[in-house]
Structure 1
């Protein structure tokens, strides 16, 4: 099935090929013998060039709009989920029971049973030395909201709760933290928020928007982010975004 990435790559290759052909055309024009009447050819070429770039610009805008629409739809569904990181992984583990126990002890949810978690499994493929984050969804959305609002209760532990961002927003989130520092970037309801050096706050949805903000405030990706204290770094670090190989069924 064709994806947005496939369309974008096709567009990139087409523009690369077209650019080369136009460059060749211009080279031939410059190499024409002196005195040759190329007025008509010049006009035709200019009209062709303007038309083609107009078409590609329109295509680029459509792809960007489609990508944003898909991202919004996907994030709307992902808002129902949370990611729990820092939970040690072992062979034969019972993830729902482990997660329920953590939520009971850390959030005071004594009545929460494993069956109250409609989705609870690790993401991605197992790897040595790395505990995969756990994707979870509570049958009661109020419990999900409570966990998110009071996630600071996990401070001092190895556990970290984060939102289940789309790949586009996760990339924007990670890039923003590199540019503006861990404590100046956070998410809320699937939206990446950035506190800028001038104290203003901006909401971003893509890495392009983050890079543009960086340029605006004199920050580049090859620059180190502002230093953070060890305690802040530990509490604010979120688990890496891993593309799940499982299908998330709507409830």
Structure 2
């Protein structure tokens, strides 16, 4: 978050510099003669404009660096999540126990139960489908163990998917729609 404070400092400095230079230009306009004013003001305006453009480009660079850092943080946080689809719902739904049953019985994993930090259903309840389970793991290693053993669920109604951001999912879907490959090779929808 030091980048954010740096951006705020640069923005404050930029505002102060802008106000100071505008006050100087206004004072020069009121005190100087008409002949000197046009040439001198034009030159000072050019230097002021170059200074402002360089400061704005620096500010844009810092903002893009900050956005990139936030994106990395969100991506690393999102990497700890998986979606489990096709798991039946019940009235008394204990999601962690249901996920634990899948992990231990169908996927033969033993340590992943302890690393589940949150588990809840997402989406609207419906008659014709079951809501997806969003499972957050406390570490990426256990999440990867579940992801790598998802092939053990191949002939069941349960599937494990990555929790992607909407823009990544849209671009992936657009790529698959435009892809010349047979749809059997990219059945992730």
Partner of 1:209: none
* SS at structure 2 position matched to 1:84: strand
TM-score (norm 1): 0.46
Taking the aligned partners of 1:76 and 1:87, their CA distance within structure 2 comes to 26
Out of 176, 181, 203, the position equivalent to 2:171 is: 176
Match status 1:103 vs 2:100: no
Aligned partners of 1:227 and 1:117: how far apart in 2?
A: 40
**Structure 2 equivalent of residue 225 of structure 1:** 178
Deviations 1:70-114 (A, max 9, x none): 3334444554443323434454311012112222343133x579x
Deviation at 1:46, TM superposition (A): 3.0
Q: Does 1:127 align with 2:127?
A: no
Higher RCO structure, 1 or 2 (CA under 8 Å, sep 6+): 2
Q: Give aligned pairs, total.
A: 153
CA distance in 1, matches of 2:115, 2:91: 21
Q: Which residue of 2 aligns with 1:189?
A: none
Report if aligned partners of 1:123, 1:132 keep a CA contact under 8 Å in 2. Answer: yes
SS of residue paired to 2:178: coil
Cα distance per residue 1:22-70 (max 9 Å; x no partner): xxxxxxxxxxxxxxx9444443433333222222221121122122223
Q: Secondary structure at the match of 1:122?
A: strand
Secondary structure, aligned partner of 1:127: coil
User: Which residue of structure 2 aligns with residue 208 of structure 1?
Assistant: none
In terms of Rg, which structure is larger?
2
- Whole-angstrom distance in 2 between the partners of 1:44 and 1:158: 72
Change (3 A) 1:61 1:171: farther
1:146 is matched with which residue? 145
Residue 120 of structure 1 contacts residue 136 of structure 1 at CA under 8 Å; is this kept in 2?
yes
Q: 8 Å contact 1:119–1:137 — kept in the other structure?
A: yes
**Distance (whole Å) between structure 2 residues aligned to residue 61 and residue 138 of structure 1:** 33
How far is 1:158 from its partner? 4.4
> Tell me, which stretches of 5 or more residues in structure 1 are unaligned?
12-36, 182-223, 238-251
SS of 1:72's partner is helix
Q: Which runs of 5+ in 2 are unaligned?
A: 12-36
- Structure-2 change in CA distance of 1:93 and 1:117 (3 Å): farther
Q: Distance in 1 between matches of 2:40 and 2:121?
A: 62
Q: Does 1:52 align with 2:52?
A: yes
